[in-house]
Amino acid sequence: MRKIAGALVLAGVLAAGAAFGQGAKPAPPANFAGLTWLAGTYFIERDGVRSYETWTGPSAGQISGSVASASNGGLIEFFKFGPNEAGVYGLMTARTTTGLDKWTFRPLKTLEPRKIVFADAAGSFSIEPTADGGIHTWATRVTDGKEAQTGEWFWKPVGPRR
């Protein structure tokens, strides 16, 4: 009898979770599976300092990445491109300079086959492939209602491209 009661309670909990969307993952946006061009390790050199950025390919509706930079005393940054707790796709970021437990979120604005744009009221972050197999990224910030570019990076591929 206890086993039956336990099974009924478990079934009720699972049904309640499904009714509220818990455990159900949202479908990735169109073109997401085609983001294999992002997968790889890239580098950039500025003022004699080499930094590296690595991205995985799309898997289970998510892509992860990281940056390791020796500039300005060192920085490690982690990325997750996928759904947040509310099921909204976007870019989540945490970095050593602000605390690895403080993730920021910027929702996906545009996903074209060869361009990704994340944007909110504070600014945007964009990624696209380059002809040499690298990636081009740039960031903007909105101040007093005006958008201004705050950074631009041309990352070169590490090793031969497949």
- What's the pLDDT tens digit per position in 35-49? 999 999 999 998 888
Going along the chain from its start, the domains and CATH numbers come out as 27-157 (2.40.128.20)
pTM of the model: 0.79
Cα separation values, 162 from 53, 152, 158, Å: 18, 26, 11
Are 27 and 61 in contact by the 8 Å Cβ rule? The answer is yes
The label of the residue with tokens 């580098």 reads: 43
pLDDT at 160: 63
CA 9 to chain centre: 37
| pLDDT at site 133 | 95
Give the C-alpha separation, 56 to 35, whole Å.
10
- From the number of C-beta atoms within 10 Å of its C-beta (0-12, 13-18, 19+), residue 75 rates as middle
Q: Look at residue 23 in the predicted model and tell me its pLDDT.
A: 60
Taking all residues of the chain, what is their mean pLDDT, rounded to a whole number?
84
What's residue 66's pLDDT?
96
Q: Where are the beta strands (DSSP E) in 37-88?
A: 40-46, 49-55, 63-69, 75-83
List pLDDT tens digits, range 46-102. Answer: 888 889 999 999 999 999 999 998 776 788 999 999 999 999 999 999 999 888 889
Q: What is the pLDDT of residue 138?
A: 94
Indicate the range of 32-36, 98-102, 137-141 predicted with least confidence: 98-102
Q: Is the pLDDT of residue 2 over 60?
A: no
3-state secondary structure of 35: helix
